[in-house]
Amino acid sequence: MSAQTLDDLLSAGVAGRTVLVRSDLNVPLDDDRKITDDGRVRASIPVITKLSEAGARVVVMAHLGRPKGEPDLTYSIRPAAEKLRELSGLDVAVATDVVGEDAQAQAASLHDGQVLVVENVRFEAGETSKDDSARQELAARYAALTGENGAYVDDAFGAVHRKHASVFDIAAVLPAYQGDLVRDELLVLKRLTEDPERPFVVVLGGSKVSDKLAVIDRLLDIADELLVGGGMMFTFLKALGHDVAGSLLEEDQLDTVRAYLARSEAGAAKITLPTDVVVAARFAADADHEIRPADSISGGSIGSSGLGLDIGPDSAAAFAERINAAKTVFWNGPMGVFEIPAYAEGTRTVAQSLADTKAFTVVGGGDSAAAVRALGFADADFGHISTGGGASLEYLEGKQLPGLIALEGN
């Protein structure tokens, strides 16, 4: 059964109706609570705007961070809501609670075209509860904000892998529709997994192999080549018998990685590892650092205490060459500690090669999206920048995602 779409809802008419929209406003904040990457807010604007312009009274639900099921202003949705107002030009109000007196009063007084953002849904313990009845009770309170003839739109692809009240249970209470952002993310992910144009090259980085075990397992059977960088590369290098000095290492994953390498040798996707590494004396911007061969990281002047913090220039150039030869590229995870300029060049080179290639390119959300924007690249430089993060990876793993199941069963 296919999900009903936003177009289906708009065709039915939304003027004068209150529509509950689950958006993804989970933006990163600095210590001053300033947004460091507004990509998710920008991605949420089109659906909210479509509904507003069609005369709907829009109530937006979203989470930010990981509060513990009670109000915590450190995680207030307000900075994201204010950014939504600034970027969209819409009439956006912000409630001081999620389903309490202020949210109820403001939702009831909305006029056609107005938008209300309620507080962080994770301020409510029922949102993430393992108890079905607790989530269902909260979902009923969400639905009550819409009054009679309400509707629900899920436009938060980054949350569809969560069995939460605002993602899963609400779709059983209100007529539920798939937002355009969810639709577009699914189209891209299906293009990657069902019939990718080949060669299909996957670039994987980030700190830990354990974060990507299942996706590596599946991509070995789908992709043509996996380029491995970031902190996770050291577990691969160690699995090959190389000394990785003081670099990040997951000892408990060595056998798993050896099995991946064996599968690659036996005919699965080719696994390509860095041949050189930027090694630092300590984790700091002003630390002494040098470029070392990947098979002798501890052999230089820094010695056995050195930390590998980026792929080296030869590796970056080789990765760029492989990307340039591809027809489809999926990238998830930076190549090094891109926040520090001395260890950003590997990530910059990969990003530039994705921007330059004629291949269909997908940047897989989270740290990768933040990295390309922090390094000065525009979203338009890439075929698609996912808002999905964990949801994208779980889809690529082949998992059934609760939010998608809820929409299809509505």
Looking at residue 365, its pLDDT comes to 67
**pLDDT average, residue stretch 218-246:** 96
Q: Please give the pLDDT value at position 1.
A: 63
Annotated catalytic residue 327: no
Q: Which CATH number is correct for 6-183, 3.40.50.1260, 3.30.200.20, 3.40.50.450, 3.40.50.261?
A: 3.40.50.1260
Q: What pLDDT was estimated at residue 299?
A: 87
DSSP letters of 315-380?
HHHHHHHHHHT-SEEEEES-SS-TTSGGG-HHHHHHHHHHHH-SSEEEE-SHHHHHHHHHTT--GG
41-98 pLDDT tens trace: 999 999 999 999 999 999 999 999 999 999 999 999 999 999 999 999 999 999 999 9
Which residue out of 208, 258, 282, 327 is catalytically annotated?
A: 208
Question: Residue 215: which of 325, 380, 366 has the closest Cα?
Answer: 366
Is 25 marked as binding a ligand?
yes
pLDDT of 291 over the 90 cut: yes
Phi, psi of 19, rounded to the nearest 5 degrees? -115, 125
Q: Which residue has the tokens 């036996």?
A: 266
24 assigned to a ligand binding site: yes
Residue 252 has a pLDDT of 96
Q: Confirm or deny that 288 is annotated as ligand binding.
A: no
Task: From 95, 26, 20, 87, select the one nearest 60 (Cα to Cα).
Answer: 20
Instruction: Considering the candidates 40, 83, 322, 348, report the single residue annotated as catalytic.
Output: 40
End-to-end CA distance of the chain: 9
Question: What is the reported pLDDT for 300?
Answer: 86
82 alpha carbon, distance to own chain's centre: 22
Mean pLDDT of 175-199: 96
Q: Using alpha carbons only, give the angle 35, 355, 195 rounded to the nearest 5 degrees.
A: 105
pLDDT in tens, 324-374: 999 999 999 999 999 999 999 999 999 999 999 999 999 986 678 888 998
Mean pLDDT of 130-138: 98
Q: Among this protein's residues, is 409 annotated catalytic? A: no
Which amino acid, one-letter code, is at 305?
S
Task: Say whether 66 counts as a known binding-site residue.
Answer: yes
Query: What pLDDT score does 297 carry?
Result: 95
Is 366 among the residues known to form the active site?
Answer: yes
pLDDT of residue 79: 97
DSSP-derived secondary structure for 259-321: HHHHHHHTTSSEEE--SEEEEESSSSTT--EEEEETT-GGGSSSGGG-EEEEE-HHHHHHHHH
Percent of the residues in the chain that have a pLDDT greater than 70, as a whole number: 99
* 6-183 against 196-396: fold identical: yes
Do the annotations mark residue 368 as ligand-binding?
yes
CB 365 within 8 A of CB 387: yes
Does 264 carry a binding-site annotation? no
Residue 358 is a catalytic residue: no
The CATH class of 196-396 is: alpha beta
pLDDT at 125 over 90: yes
**Can you tell me the mean pLDDT for 106-115?**
98
pLDDT (mean) for 4-8: 98
pLDDT value for 410: 63
Q: Is 13 annotated as a binding residue?
A: no
Contact 367, 160 (CB under 8 A): no
Instruction: State yes or no: 282 annotated in a binding site.
Output: no
Tell me which of 42, 100, 390, 399 is the catalytic residue. 390
What is the chain's Cα-based Rg? 23
Residues 6+ apart with CB under 8 A from 112: 15, 16, 55, 56, 57
Average pLDDT over residues 152-175: 97
| Cis bond before residue 199 (omega within 30° of 0) | yes
Domain boundaries, the chain: 6-183, 196-396
What integer is the mean pLDDT of 159-163? 97
* pLDDT for the residue numbered 367: 79
Residue 161 marked in a binding site: no
pLDDT single digits (tens) 372-404? 998 999 999 999 998 888 899 899 989 999 999
Q: Which entry of 364, 366, 388, 389 is annotated as an active-site residue?
A: 366
